[in-house]
């Protein structure tokens, strides 16, 4: 079973710190707890699907993602007056002269003020002010500044902005920023949200609602502790809200109100170039594990957005950024392409599946399209199934088809049948549906299995269905009532053969069921029961003390009193064939009514028609006659 993985690392590398009282919007909070050392204060845990191992990528229990005090203002605080006053602070403040050097450590309030100034400088593209603020930062604040700067690359529009941002990244790293892992994970998640939002026409606020609903649906599909799932959902939702706030902030700064503007091909190249510069500067400070977790972080939002993507989104301009980002992460050492591919298939993220197929092809990576088809079919993701077959060349239909038949998932079964399945696959699917008593699915599959296949495997089909029946033999009864061999004599003979078999491989319940209802012995027993029933009626007529004399009743009423229970039982059984026990009783009834000995030429329905002829018309059920 594929692991259910999420995007926040055990190292808590993507957290956003608490404790900041904002007067203006921030894309990333820059304050941490005083005891923050770059590692989590406590171990975190994740939950996986039933039967799977723990994943290396889990929800964090560490710091909150969004400041409880934070608020988003209606506009961008980039005024010249603010920047001028902050430039003075940057050069004349007391801590500017007291904290110079690698060992400097800013207080909480100093970090807050420095963060606000740096964000404003970034928003207004005042690179000179931003660089001067870098000189005042302690190592932890430098890590926050690196995150803020790196997050801004997905909103680059000009070559000048590219030079400014990459220059800042180089200077921040040169001055001591070291948390490349956190920066990579955060910006990968944000880039994915930006790329996804560009494909949508709704507002960012509506997007938050849609993603929260989708996240809740995804968590409900997972197995695990409900409390842990609730905590995980809250963490991810806060992170998603942070990303969308960040997008909204940059959009307002770019005079795009609350909408996400579409990047041109040139702008996308600038953005990817900036990210590549960051990766080059990080060098071997980013491990293969870091690239793997960043890849996971980039894929995760797309599974939440997937239901609202237009078909073909993966081939459009909006997906170019995420394609480039994922490609760079794979080149860096991400080794979880197949894992994310399987998860995307499970959750029906068709456009992400399409992108990952392309990345795997470009990088000569193996992805298990057949296993992915199994996941998609299990959760009835028809669009994803079509993508996996048509673009991923998945061909292993048997397993998914059998499991769908066993669960009674008619939509998936019909899809596979229409795509074209081998005769043997259809026969096995029919057996699976029969064994689990999925009568509706079995009725759909039966006409699609060639008669020569059914004839050759009839005994094995019934034996296998009985062995895996789980206590209910309704599926077996359906096949027999349906005359699944198309020849009543052959169908009765197969049932009788299994009933009389000494094969220890035949399920005892199946053997008893067939012996009591479908064997030759059951037919003879039915004849005997019919005879006993008739003799009892004669005794009532002769010695009965009822004030109503049955002999004085009209013939049809006497027949109804005698055989109406048998008639109703036969009608209820349905199908083309009656069980041998009912057939024996019906043969005896028709014989007593003057129909002669008909068992050699009739197999139930003709006999029932004769009995109906003797019943009062108001007791005959028209839909079941003939």
| 14/293 Cα distance (integer angstroms) | 11
pLDDT tier, 534 (very low <50, low <70, confident <90, very high otherwise): confident
pLDDT tier, 307 (very low <50, low <70, confident <90, very high otherwise): low
Residue 73: per-residue pLDDT: 36
DSSP state of 314: G
pLDDT tier, 234 (very low <50, low <70, confident <90, very high otherwise): confident
More confident residue, 394 or 600: 394
- What percentage of the chain reaches a pLDDT higher than 70? 73
More confident residue, 547 or 611: 611
For the chain, helix (H) and strand (E) counts, in that order, are 28, 0
Instruction: Enumerate residues 6+ apart whose C-beta is below 8 A from 231.
Output: 59, 61
Residue 28: per-residue pLDDT: 45
Residue 255: per-residue pLDDT: 59
Residue 202: per-residue pLDDT: 52
What are residue 117's phi and psi, to 5 degrees?
-65, -40
Residue 226: per-residue pLDDT: 76
Q: Among 55, 84, 64, which residue's Cα sits nearest to residue 17?
A: 64
Residue 404: per-residue pLDDT: 97
pLDDT tier, 624 (very low <50, low <70, confident <90, very high otherwise): very low
Question: Is the pLDDT at 437 greater than 90, yes or no?
Answer: yes
Residue 603: per-residue pLDDT: 64
Q: pLDDT per residue over 163-194, tens digit each?
A: 999 999 999 999 999 999 999 999 999 998 88
Is 154 within 8 Å of 194 (Cβ atoms)?
Answer: yes
Considering the entire predicted model, what is its pTM? 0.77
Q: pLDDT per residue over 253-286, tens digit each?
A: 765 554 455 678 899 999 999 999 999 999 999 9
DSSP 34-77: TT--SS-SS-------TT-PPPSB----SS-SS-TT----SS--
pLDDT tier, 552 (very low <50, low <70, confident <90, very high otherwise): low
Least confident of 202-211, 520-529, 533-542: 202-211
Question: Is the pLDDT at 60 greater than 50, yes or no?
Answer: no
Q: pLDDT per residue over 461-474, tens digit each?
A: 999 999 988 778 99
Residue 524: per-residue pLDDT: 93
Question: Is the pLDDT at 582 greater than 50, yes or no?
Answer: yes
Instruction: Enumerate residues 6+ apart whose C-beta is below 8 A from 577.
Output: 480, 481, 482, 483, 488, 491, 492, 603, 604, 605
Question: Is the pLDDT at 424 greater than 70, yes or no?
Answer: yes
Residue 564: per-residue pLDDT: 85
Q: Which helix (H) or strand (E) holds 588?
A: helix 580-592
Question: Is the pLDDT at 144 greater than 60, yes or no?
Answer: yes
When computed from its CA atoms, the radius of gyration of the chain, rounded to whole angstroms, is 37
Q: pLDDT per residue over 102-127, tens digit each?
A: 456 888 888 888 988 998 898 888 99
The whole-chain average pLDDT of the chain stands at 78
Q: Among 423, 425, 408, 485, which residue's Cα sits nearest to residue 454?
A: 485
Q: pLDDT per residue over 4-38, tens digit each?
A: 444 444 444 444 333 333 333 445 443 333 333 33
Question: Is the pLDDT at 535 greater than 90, yes or no?
Answer: no
Question: Is the pLDDT at 197 greater than 80, yes or no?
Answer: no
Question: Is the pLDDT at 403 greater than 90, yes or no?
Answer: yes
Is 185 within 8 Å of 13 (Cβ atoms)?
Answer: yes
Residue 548: per-residue pLDDT: 63
> CA–CA distance from 220 to each of 31, 213, 216, 291 (Å)?
34, 11, 6, 28
| 51/223 Cα distance (integer angstroms) | 10
- Bridge partners, 57 (sequence order): 9
DSSP state of 9: B
Question: Is the pLDDT at 559 greater than 60, yes or no?
Answer: yes
Is 314 within 8 Å of 290 (Cβ atoms)?
Answer: no
Question: Is the pLDDT at 310 greater than 50, yes or no?
Answer: yes
Q: pLDDT per residue over 326-341, tens digit each?
A: 999 999 999 999 999 9
5: tokens are 């993985």
Q: Where are the domains of the chain?
A: 77-178, 398-517, 520-624
Length of the chain: 626
| 517/495 Cα distance (integer angstroms) | 9
| 478/102 Cα distance (integer angstroms) | 81
More confident residue, 533 or 94: 533
Question: Is the pLDDT at 130 greater than 80, yes or no?
Answer: yes
DSSP 119-164: HHHHHTT-HHHHHHHHTT--HHHHHHHHHHHHHGGGG--SHHHHHH
Residue 406: per-residue pLDDT: 95
């Amino acid at each position: 079973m594929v692991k259910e993985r999420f995007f926040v690392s055990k190292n808590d590398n993507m957290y956003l710190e608490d404790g900041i009282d904002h007067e203006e919007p921030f894309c990333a909070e820059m304050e941490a707890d005083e005891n923050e050392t770059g590692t989590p204060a406590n171990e975190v845990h994740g939950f996986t699907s039933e039967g799977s191992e723990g994943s290396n990528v889990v929800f964090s229990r560490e710091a909150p993602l969004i400041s409880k005090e934070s608020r988003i203002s209606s506009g961008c605080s980039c005024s010249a007056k603010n920047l001028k006053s902050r430039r003075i602070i940057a050069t004349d403040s007391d801590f500017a002269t007291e904290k110079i050097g690698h060992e400097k450590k800013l207080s909480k309030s100093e970090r807050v003020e420095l963060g606000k100034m740096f964000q404003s400088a970034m928003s207004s593209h005042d690179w000179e002010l931003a660089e001067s603020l870098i000189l005042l930062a302690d190592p932890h604040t430098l890590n926050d500044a690196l995150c803020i700067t790196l997050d801004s690359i997905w909103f680059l529009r000009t070559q000048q902005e590219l030079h400014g941002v990459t220059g800042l990244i180089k200077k921040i790293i040169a001055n001591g920023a070291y948390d490349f892992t956190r920066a990579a994970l955060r910006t990968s998640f944000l880039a994915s949200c930006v790329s996804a939002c560009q494909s949508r026409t709704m507002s960012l606020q509506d997007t938050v609602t849609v993603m929260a609903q989708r996240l809740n649906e995804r968590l409900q599909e997972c197995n695990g502790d409900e409390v842990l799932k609730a905590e995980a959902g809250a963490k991810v939702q806060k992170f998603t809200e942070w990303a969308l706030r960040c997008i909204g902030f940059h959009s307002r700064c770019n005079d795009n109100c609350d909408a996400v503007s579409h990047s041109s091909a040139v702008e996308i190249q600038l953005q990817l170039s900036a990210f590549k510069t960051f990766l080059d500067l990080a060098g071997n400070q980013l491990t293969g594990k870091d690239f793997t977790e960043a890849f996971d972080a980039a894929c995760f939002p797309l599974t939440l957005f997937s239901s609202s993507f237009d078909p073909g989104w993966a081939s459009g301009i909006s997906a170019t950024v995420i394609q480039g980002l994922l490609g760079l992460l794979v080149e860096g050492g991400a080794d979880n392409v197949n894992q994310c591919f399987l998860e995307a298939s499970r959750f029906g993220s068709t456009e992400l599946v399409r992108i990952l197929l392309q990345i795997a092809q470009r990088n000569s990576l193996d992805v298990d399209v057949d296993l992915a088809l199994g996941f998609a079919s299990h959760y009835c993701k028809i669009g994803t199934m079509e993508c996996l077959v048509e673009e991923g060349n998945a061909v292993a239909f048997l397993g998914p088809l059998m499991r769908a038949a066993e669960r009674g998932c008619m939509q998936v079964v019909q899809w596979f049948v229409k795509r074209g399945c081998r005769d043997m696959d259809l026969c096995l699917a029919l057996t699976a549906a029969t064994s689990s008593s999925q009568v509706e699915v079995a009725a759909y599959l039966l006409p699609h299995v060639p008669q020569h296949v059914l004839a050759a495997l009839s005994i094995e089909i019934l034996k296998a269905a009985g062995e895996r029946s789980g206590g209910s033999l309704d599926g077996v009864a359906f096949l027999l009532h349906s005359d699944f061999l198309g020849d009543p004599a052959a169908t009765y003979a197969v049932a009788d053969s299994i009933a009389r078999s000494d094969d220890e491989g035949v399920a005892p319940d199946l053997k008893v069921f067939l012996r009591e209802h479908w064997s030759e012995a059951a037919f003879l027993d039915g004849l005997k029961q019919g005879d006993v029933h008739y003799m009892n009626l004669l005794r009532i007529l002769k010695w009965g003390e009822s004030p109503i004399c049955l002999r004085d009743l009209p013939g049809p009423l006497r027949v109804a009193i005698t055989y109406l229970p048998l008639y109703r039982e036969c009608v209820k059984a349905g199908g083309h064939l009656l069980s041998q026990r009912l057939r024996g009783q019906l043969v005896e009834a028709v014989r007593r009514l003057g129909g002669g000995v008909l068992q050699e030429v009739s197999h139930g329905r003709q006999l029932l028609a004769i009995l109906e002829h003797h019943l009062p018309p108001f007791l005959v059920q028209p839909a079941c006659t003939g």
